[in-house]
Chain A
Amino acid sequence: MDIESSRSPSLRVERLGKRYRVGSKRPFDLWALKDVSFTVEPGTILGVIGPNGAGKTTLLKVLSRVTPPTEGRVVGRGRVVPLLALGAGFQQDLSGRENIFLNAAMYGISASEVEERLDDIVQFAGLDDFLDTPVKRYSSGMYLRLAFSVAINMRPDILLADEVLAVGDMEFQERCLERVQESGRAGMTVLFVSHDMDAIARLCDRVLWLSAGQMMAIGPPDQVVAEYQASAWSSINRRRQTKKSGGHVCKAGEILFARLVSAKGKEVGAIKVEDPVWLHIGFRTAMPRLDVRAQIDVMARGALAFRSVQPVPMPFDGPAEGIAKVQIPPHLLAETTYTVNTSLAFFEGDKPYTCELDNALAFHVYDSAKGDSARGTYKGQMRGVVSPKLEWHVEALHEAALPEGGGLS
C-alpha cells in the first residue's frame, strides 16, 4: 500500500439510510438504518455490535451491494469481499475445487488469480484430500473452512464478516481470528459483526454500536462494549423484574429486586473481570421479628457455576425493607453471560418461609485482555464457568534428568 492511499479512509459512510416497507395489510416504513456516518481507516478492524434488528446485517448488505441504500452514500476503496451467510454461493453438487472457482467468480475475481492462490486456499482450509469431493459430502466444519479460506485468500481490501466466526470449532475460529488480525496489520479493513463481546473486545480496534438503525456510539472497544452491555442488560433486567411470577412473595416477605452494583455504587449490566462488584438483593419482611438468610445461584453456559449462601442468618426487625449485599471478587468470573437466581429464607423461630426469584438478574463479564487477567497474554479460548486467577510457577529441577517434554510443577 503506497503512502497516498494509506492517507485517505478505506471506507467513508455518509448519512446512510435504508428504508424497508414492511407489513402487507397496513404497510409502514421501517428505517433499518438511519443517518449512519463513519469512516474507517485502512487496516482497521471495526466491530459492529447491537441487539438483533439493530441494522448490523443491513449495513453489511448495503456495503456489499446486495441491497441499495435509500439515502446517503458510501465511498470505498478496493476490493470488497463479503462473508455474509458463509458459503451462500456454494453448490452442493460441485467439488471443493469447482466451488472455489465459482465462489471467486461470485466475488468478480478472475480464474487466473484463483489459480495462483489455489494452494494457499487449500492449505488454510486443510482440505487437500477432499478437494475433488462434492461439497455436499463435507462436514459443516469443512464447509466453513473452505468458505473462509476462499474469502480471505481473495486478498480483500475490505472484508465484511457477519457473525460467521461464531460457527466452527474453536481451533479453527482462533485460526480465523488470527488470520483476520494478520491481514488487518497488512492493511485490510474488516467490518466484523458479532454478538460475541469477547471476540469483539479482543479483536477490534474500534467498535460501532447500532441500535434500531441509529448509531449509538463509535469508539474504543472497551468503552463502547461496556456502554452497550450496560444498556442492553439493564433493559433486560428491568423487563425481568417487572414480571410478576409470584414465587418471589411468601407469607413472611418478598424479594423486591436484584441489582449488580459497581464499586462506585452505580448499577451496571456488564463488568470487567478485574473489577469487584456487589450484588444487591432488596427485600421486604411482613413479620415483626425474623431471621433472614439470602442465597444466590450463579448460572453460566447452562450450568450452575456456584452457589453462595449467607453464612449465618441475621435477625431482622420488621415489618421493614432491607437489602442483602454480597461481593463477587475480581478475577473469579469467566468471560461470559451469567444469570442469577436469588432466594431468601425467613425463619420465624424454627419455622422457615422461602421466597425465590429465578433469573433475577443477568449480566455479562468481559476481559479487555490487557495481560493482567487470568488469561494473561494467552489469546486462545478460555473455557468453563469460572476463570479464577491462579498462581503459576515453572522452574527447573536441579540437575535431575527430565523426561522428554519436561514437566510442570
Chain B
Amino acid sequence: MSGASMQPALARDEWVIEPRGEGARAVARDVWRYRRLLRFFASRSFQKLYARTVLGWSWIFIRPLFPLLVTTLVFGQVLSVTSGSNVPYFLFLVVGVTPWEFFASNLMWGTRSLELNRGMLSRIYLPRLILPIAMVAPALVTFLIHLGVIAVAIFYYRWSTGMWFFQPALVGWAVQGFLLAWLLSLGIALWTSVPALVARDVRFTLGYVLGFWIFLTPIMYSLSSVPADYRWAFALNPMTSVVESFKFGVLGLGAIDSRQLLTSWGIALLTLASGLVFFSRAERNAADKA
C-alpha cells in the first residue's frame, strides 16, 4: 500500500501485495484501522488466564499476593533484610515488586501473544502487531492490584505507626518508571514473540532469565546496600531505573540518577525501535510458522 515505490501511481482504493513488507507507516496505519481488535484481544487474553480453574477470579489476587507474603517472611523476617530506611520492609518490597511484576508479566504475555492466537494467525489477516500490544491487559490488571496493595499498606502503617510514607508530589517519577517498564517489555516482546511461535524454548529460557534478572534488580534489597564495585552492573540494567523511579516516586526513597535514567530510556527506546523493525519483517511469515 505504500504508493511511493510503485511505478504507476495507484488509484485511491487500489492496493498491492508484494513479497517485501510495506514499511512501518503502513503497519501503523493498519494497526489504527484494526484498533478495535486491541480491546478484543485484551479481554480475550484475560479470559484465558483463569479459565478452567476452581478458584477462578480469586487467582487474580492470590497470584500476586502470595509471593509477596513469602518474600516478606523470608527476606524481611528470617534474613532480616531492611529497606535501608524507616520504611517497613513489606511496603518497601511491594513498591519494588509492582513495576517489576508488570514488566515481567507484560514480557511473558507479549512473548506468548502470537503463539496463543496461532489458530487465528494462519486463517485470517490482521495486523499482528496488535497482539503483543493488546497482551498488556493481564499485566495491567496485576499492576492495579499491586497499586491497591500499596494503598492499603500505606494506610495500615499510618494507622499502626502513625507515619505517612506516600509522597504525592513525586508521583510523576513513578508514572515515568511505569512507562519505561512498559516500553522496555514491549520492545523485548517484539523480539521474542515471533521466534516463540516455532520454539517453546524461547518462553522457557525467558522464565529463567526473568528469575535471574529479578535478583539483579534492587527489589528485595535497597540499591544503597549494593557494594560500590557492582554498581556499574546495576547501572546498565534499565529495570534498576524503573524500580528506583518507583521507590522514589511513591515513597521518596533514594534519588534519581539522571545519567542512569537516560541510559535506561536509551536502551528501552532502542530495543523498541529495533523490535518494531524486526517484528514487522518477521511477522509476515508468521502464518507459515503457525
Contacts and interface: CB of A to CB of B under 8 A. Distances in A.
B285 A68 contact: yes
Interface string B19-33: 101000000001001
Contact of B18 (A73, A84, A111): A73
A72 B16 CA distance: 11
A67 B40 contact: no
Interface string B118-130: 0111111110000
Interface residues of A, number: 35
B17 A69 contact: yes
A157 B34 CA distance: 19
B11 A67 contact: no
B120 A76 contact: no
Contacts of B44: 91
Given A68-B19, A75-B15, A76-B14, A61 B287 contact: yes
Interface stretch (A101-109, A210-218, A285-293, A399-407): A101-109
B14 A64 contact: no
B36 interface: yes
A85 B13 CA distance: 26
* B interface residue count range (under 10 / 10 to 19 / 20 to 34 / 35 or more): 20 to 34
A69 B287 contact: no
Interface string B224-249: 00000000000000000000000000
A105 B13 CA distance: 19
Contact of A105 (B21, B37, B122): B37
A108 B123 contact: no
A139 interface: no
A70 B19 contact: yes
A68 B16 contact: no
Nearest to B122: A66
A17 to B, nearest CB: 9
A88 B16 contact: no
A84 B123 contact: yes
B34 A88 contact: no
A67 B289 CA distance: 10
A63 interface: yes
A65 B34 contact: no
Interface in A131-188: 157
Interface of B: 10-11, 13-19, 21, 30, 33-34, 36-37, 40, 44, 47, 119-126, 284-285, 287-288
